[in-house]
Amino acid sequence: MEKIVDRFLRYVKIDTQSDENSSNMPSTEKQWDLLKLLEKELKDMGLKDTSLDNNGYLMATLPANTDKVVPIIGFIAHVDTSPDFTSTNVNPQIVKYVGKNVVLNSKKNIVLSSKDFPSLNNYIGQTIITSDGSTLLGADDKAGVAEIMAAVEFLVNHPEVKHGPIKIGFTPDEEIGRGADKFDVKKFGADFAYTLDGGGIGELEYENFNAARAKISIQGLNVHPGTAKDKMKNSILIAMELNSMLPPHQSPEHTEAYEGFYHLTDIKGTVDSSSVSYIIRDHDKGKFEKKKDMMIKIVDHLNMKYGAGTVKITMVDQYYNMREKIEPVYHVVELAIKAMKELGISPKIIPIRGGTDGARLSYMGLPCPNIFAGGHNFHSRYEFIPVKSMERAVDVIVKISEMNTR
């Protein structure tokens, strides 16, 4: 069997960054590179019904090796990486972490330290994988991809481990909120599934943010600054005014646990025109709706102040909290809890401060909680993953598959 580290390193070196400005699916051609590789590897391992459709959804079946009639389980991960930071020419580094700062790039003085990222302290004495500081690593979610593939390979090579039918799914464009847009739940054919897209070892999640995206355009009026009195409308200043009207304590850097936020993700502008983008998040559906209402009221106020049509907003819901769909089938969560405990892993049931394909899929009829993949500091140059956490994620996949037959 290929070591999980070697498999992971092969995958992260393939650039699969998605692009929210593209209308294609997958949004970038380069995602096909990993999808086609995975398709070949699944076929080489002997999986059945392996298919890669025109939208970039890769599905396969590991047939049952037991006569027992058991629920059909799925395991899902996404192949794309975040547009938030480059994933071109990823150069992974394998480091034995001894509690000291990890120098990612000496020339640029880029350092991974426990002072900035206290979670590092949980892995003293362990081997971790980082990037070289010039790119993200891609553990989100190539760790999940590698773990699923490693677990499948283990089960293929160890027929003494009994399991029911197992469905494998790899999706594109999760990072831009489109990972489940055209996922064919009926074709996938699982009774329930798990995404491998979580953080540290033991994390198990079945509730996530309600999510919306807001894109705002501001039309100013540019005249010569020497004659601008009572004429100029500076769209950049209006954008700044808009942002100042949002609650300052409701931003990502000031919130945790179940606290929602407004997150300014992009701003471009000149005096004449500007554009601003936000994401809006809250676990509580009522608070989520109030946040969206506040954004609309701010836009209405600015239009009253500066003239109708000055500020235009387009707001789209992206996904909802899957808790509503998981609680009626909580045995799905309990199976994962029991599997972790049997492996000596302490389950950490926490809310996702984000979303996964599983959130959308749960509303599409496929209950789909999220299991740890092991990584930390996703979407940044400081991303890292402990090797042991990846190995334990593989163990959990295998154990869930085995326990499903009991």
Q: Which of 41, 174, 205, 357 is catalytic?
A: 174
Alpha carbon distance, N-terminus to C-terminus of the chain:
26
Give the number of other CB atoms < 10 A from CB of residue 254. Answer: 11
**Closest-CA residue to 358 (of 55, 141, 165):** 141
Q: Which residues contact 182 (CB under 8 A, 6 or more apart)?
A: 25, 55, 57
CA 8/CA 186 separation, integer angstroms: 30
Tell me, yes or no, if 174 is annotated catalytic.
Answer: yes
Tell me, yes or no, if 80 is annotated catalytic.
Answer: yes
Q: Which residues contact 147 (CB under 8 A, 6 or more apart)?
A: 4, 77, 196, 373, 374, 390, 393, 394, 397
**Closest-CA residue to 110 (of 87, 128, 93, 89):** 93
Q: Which of 15, 39, 41, 80 is catalytic?
A: 80
The CA-based angle 388-394-396, given to 5 degrees, is 105
Cβ contact 402:163 at 8 Å: yes
* Dihedral over alpha carbons 34, 38, 40, 45 (to 10 degrees): 160
CA 378/CA 386 separation, integer angstroms: 13
| Residues acting as catalytic residues | 80, 174
